[in-house]
């Protein structure tokens, strides 16, 4: 769902608290550029708004269609500021509150992404170490980036960046 929303230009942010395998359940940005890994692990009605649900299925092949480049990361400790980000993501407010409160430190990291769609999807076998609640997985091989296009035109992207930064900075 989130990867679909990113690929369609419906959102340019990720809201991260951290996966179970992340140290102290806090997300860390290990790579500035990365492929988006499509999963159905957290797809539930409470996680995203009902209109964003997709039908999940088991799969043996992982299809990569989206590449992202981090343009900034913000630690947001004010739930009211996160509520102002609602037009910029597909998560339900209940899920935002849940993630915000989880762990020892209240807050959420807002990862600002420039997202690109690959002209030709790349398929790799689904491996056991890809499974689970993880922020990062090693794909096991180098994947060439030959042809890709930003999902949003520059003006649309930078307009959203300006709005999101203003909210995250507490203005």
28-86 pLDDT, tens digit per residue, is 666 688 887 766 544 444 444 444 434 444 567 778 888 899 998 888 999 999 899 99
Q: How many CA atoms lie within 13 A of 77 on its CB side?
A: 3
The pLDDT of residue 20: 44
- pLDDT confidence band for 137 (50 / 70 / 90): low
Going from N- to C-terminal start, the domains of the chain cover 2-156
What distance in Å separates the CA atoms of residue 7 and residue 54, rounded to the nearest whole number? 14
Question: What is this structure's pTM?
Answer: 0.75
The pLDDT of residue 36: 79
- Give 13 or 32, the one with higher predicted confidence: 13
Burial of 116 (0-12, 13-18, 19+ CB in 10 A): buried
């Amino acid at each position: 769902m989130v990867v679909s929303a990113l690929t369609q230009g419906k959102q340019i942010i990720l809201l991260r608290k951290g996966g179970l395998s992340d140290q102290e359940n806090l997300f860390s940005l290990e790579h500035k550029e990365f492929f988006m890994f499509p999963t159905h692990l957290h797809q539930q009605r409470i996680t995203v708004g009902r209109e964003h649900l997709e039908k999940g299925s088991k799969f043996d092949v992982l299809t990569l269609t989206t590449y992202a480049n981090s343009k900034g990361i913000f630690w947001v400790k004010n739930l009211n500021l996160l509520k102002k980000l609602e037009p910029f993501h597909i998560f339900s407010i209940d899920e935002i509150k849940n993630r915000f409160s989880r762990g020892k430190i209240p807050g959420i990291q807002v990862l600002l992404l420039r997202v690109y769609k690959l002209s030709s999807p790349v398929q790799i076998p689904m491996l056991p170490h890809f499974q689970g609640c993880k922020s990062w997985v090693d794909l096991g091989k180098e994947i060439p980036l030959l042809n890709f296009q930003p999902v949003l035109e520059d003006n649309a992207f930078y307009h959203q960046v300006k709005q999101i930064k203003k909210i995250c900075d507490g203005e």
